[in-house]
Amino acid sequence: MVSEWEMLMRLTLSCVLGGVIGYERQSRRKSAGLRTNMLVCLGSCLVMLISTAIYQSVEGRTNADPARLAAQVVSGIGFLGAGAIMKEGLTVTGLTTAACLWVVAGVGLAVGGGYYTAALLATGLVFVTLGALSRIDEWVLHDNHILLTVFTRDLPGQLVHVNECLEDMSLTVHTVKTTRAEGSERSLVLEFELFNHAKVTGATLADAVGRIEGVTSVHIS
């Protein structure tokens, strides 16, 4: 049986490791921040401790599976992760946050099972992946990154027409966000995040998009 002091140590460690990952998420203003990640890690650790204790109390008297209770954590995190994923227009956000919650649950299970080295290594790798690699990604793509905002009338197939224009110039669309223009129900604002591997100039891009029927204004940054 796990002693009470060891239970306390495991629960405390799970809070700390969940907090380390949660701090990084909160610093980037993500939906699942410090408290959410700490609670997920703590809850996973607690379930693992209970699962182990129940198995040890009936060991030899039944065919109980010690992993059965802990396995439900993975299913439960699926629902929590789905709540972190949001779709606005054609843009889907929150995938990294949802994946992070899943990993945090795994860290909590590892701590609850006594696999401290694996939990510490996983936490370090997650922190490096979320922090350092994202900065490298921003640095590599900085020169080829374009934010295009198109103001247009709400015409049938207008988003398709703009997208085809961008593809003709060999621009890769990373994300698209569509919103209604303020004060007008018949106008749209299309926001594109583009990768400009073809080195298209801003003037050329603005001129090409501005020629599309219904487009009233183009902003590039």
Is the model's pLDDT at 161 over the cut of 80? Answer: yes
- The H or E element spanning position 119 is helix 116-141
155 vs 188: CA distance, rounded Å: 9
DSSP category for residue 212:
S
Name the residue with higher pLDDT: 2 or 63.
Answer: 2
Domain-embedded: residue 46: yes
197 and 155 in a common domain:
yes
Give the total residue count for the chain.
221
User: What domain range is 19 assigned to?
Assistant: 4-114
Residue 105 vs residue 86, higher pLDDT = 105
Question: What is the dihedral angle through the alpha carbons of 18, 23, 29, 33, rounded to the nearest 10 degrees?
Answer: 20
93 within some domain:
yes
Residues 193 and 155 in one domain: yes
Where do we find the tokens 């629902």?
A: 79
Give tens-digit pLDDT for 73-82: 888 887 777 7
46 and 146 both lie in a single domain: no
**Whole-number pLDDT of residue 116:** 94
The whole-number pLDDT of residue 146 equals: 84
Surface-to-core class of residue 218, CB atoms within 10 Å of its CB (0-12 exposed, 13-18 middle, 19+ buried): buried
Domain count, the chain: 2
Same domain, 178 and 100: no
pLDDT at 120: 95
Query: Do residues 25 and 71 both lie within one domain?
Result: yes
pLDDT of residue 18: 93
Is the pLDDT at 91 greater than 60? The verdict is: no
Closest C-alpha to 161, from 207, 208, 200, 199: 208
Mean pLDDT, residues 48-73 taken together: 77
- For residues 90 and 44, membership in a common domain is answered with yes
- For 97, residues 6+ apart whose C-beta sits below 8 A from its C-beta are 25, 30, 31, 32, 81, 84, 85
Q: Indicate whether 120 belongs to any domain.
A: no
Q: Is the domain of 44 the same as that of 88?
A: yes
Banded pLDDT at 38 (limits 50, 70, 90): very high
The pLDDT of residue 4 is 86
CATH number where 180 lies: 3.30.70.260
Residue 127 pLDDT: 85
Give the pLDDT confidence of 15-31 residue by residue, as tens digits.
Answer: 999 999 988 888 877 77
Tell me how far CA of residue 220 lies from CA of 46, 143, 192, 193, in angstroms. Answer: 51, 14, 10, 10
Whether residue 3 contacts residue 25, with contact meaning beta carbons closer than 8 Å, is answered with: no
